[in-house]
Structure 1
Amino acid sequence: MSFSAWFNEHYDEKGPVKWLAFFLEAVSSLVLFTLMALTCVDVVGRYLFNSPLHGGTELTEIGLAVMVFAAMPVITWRGGHIVVDLLDRFLGSKVVKALSLFAALVMSTSLYFLALRIFELGERSIRRGVVTEFLAMPTGYIVQYIAIMSWATAAGMITYGVYRILFQSKD
């Protein structure tokens, strides 16, 4: 199977969003693989050579942040979050649509303002020169990355999430 056939089979999005989803998932999977290798090196070093990987905890924390926040916009765009639908069968489809739309608007607005504050904290960390304890890596850039990916998630929720609720829901 060619790459383009596999790509078109596994990615339903259209246009540049398809490539963005692929890129973000590739980043997330590459970081996950790196975290696995990092953990293996740390465990082997710790138990066989009595010398753990210095800064391994910091690299793991940063890697987890990169991985989670790279996947978050794609999951939101596809509507892959856990949904509890206990009342859906008791409420009418129009009420469920209205509640879903309200929830999407509240979530995207909350993410936008949360990302705004996170970005400000990242700027402050950069200005103050805050670095990690062992590796002396600047933390502000990772914090700003989290804010940017939160904005991307909010944009995905407000655009395609609302579109999906309004036009693709089953009545």
Structure 2
Amino acid sequence: MQLSGWMKKQYPEPNVYRWIGLTLEGVAATVLLLLVLLTCFDVVGRYLFNNSIDGAVELTQIGLAIMVFAQMPIITWRGSHVVVDLLDQVLGNRIIKILAIFSVFIISTSFYFLAVRIYQLAERSLSRGELTEYLGLPAGYIAQYIALMSWVTAACMLTYGAYCVLKDKNVSQSVGE
């Protein structure tokens, strides 16, 4: 299978969202691989050489933050969160579509204001010179990354999430799959 065919199959989103998804999933996959290698080397070092990798726990925490927040926009715009559709059979398709648009608006505004607050905390952390406990890395940069990815999630949800809801005839399946 050629690269373009694979891309269209794995990333059905339109142009720019396809590349955003590929990039963010590439970042998450790379970080996951590095976390696996870090854990393996840490365990081997601990049991064979009686010496673990300094700061492995801290690096794992930072890696998990990078990985989770890299996946957040993709999961959100694809509607891969848990969805309860008990009333979809009772309510009409028009009501479901209105509720889905309302949900897109609530999710995107929540992520936006959450990102604003996280960014404020990151700026405060950087201005105070707060460092991570063991490795001494500036903690504010990780918080800025979390805020940035929350803004990306809000923008993607407001644009592509709304597009997905409006284009589909059967909203309950498109929102929850």
- TM-score by length of structure 2 reads 0.91
Aligned: 1:20 with 2:20: yes
1:90 matched residue in structure 2: 90
Unaligned runs of 5+ in 2: 172-177
1:58 matched residue in structure 2: 58
Which letter does structure 1 place at the counterpart of 2:108? S
Unaligned runs of 5+ in 1: none
Measure the CA separation in 2 of the matches of 1:163 and 1:112: 19
Measure the CA separation in 1 of the matches of 2:7 and 2:166: 27
Structure 2 counterparts to residues 148-167 of structure 1, below 5 A = 148-167=148-167
Measure the CA separation in 2 of the matches of 1:92 and 1:4: 38
Q: Which runs of 4+ in 1 moved over 3 A?
A: none
Measure the CA separation in 1 of the matches of 2:6 and 2:36: 26
Measure the CA separation in 2 of the matches of 1:93 and 1:9: 28
Cα deviations across residues 66-120 of structure 1 (Å, max 9, x unaligned)? Answer: 0010111112222222211111112121221121111111111111001000001
Structure 2 counterparts to residues 67-86 of structure 1, below 5 A = 67-86=67-86
Which letter does structure 1 place at the counterpart of 2:65? A
Identity over aligned pairs, percent: 54
Measure the CA separation in 2 of the matches of 1:161 and 1:76: 8
SS in 2 for 1:44: helix
Measure the CA separation in 2 of the matches of 1:151 and 1:57: 28
Which letter does structure 2 place at the counterpart of 1:144? Q
1:121 matched residue in structure 2: 121
Measure the CA separation in 2 of the matches of 1:169 and 1:38: 46
Q: CA RMSD in A?
A: 1.4
Aligned residues: 171
Which letter does structure 1 place at the counterpart of 2:83? V
- TM-score by length of structure 1 reads 0.94
Aligned: 1:102 with 2:102: yes
1:37 matched residue in structure 2: 37
* 1:6 CA displacement: 2.0
Measure the CA separation in 1 of the matches of 2:166 and 2:29: 32
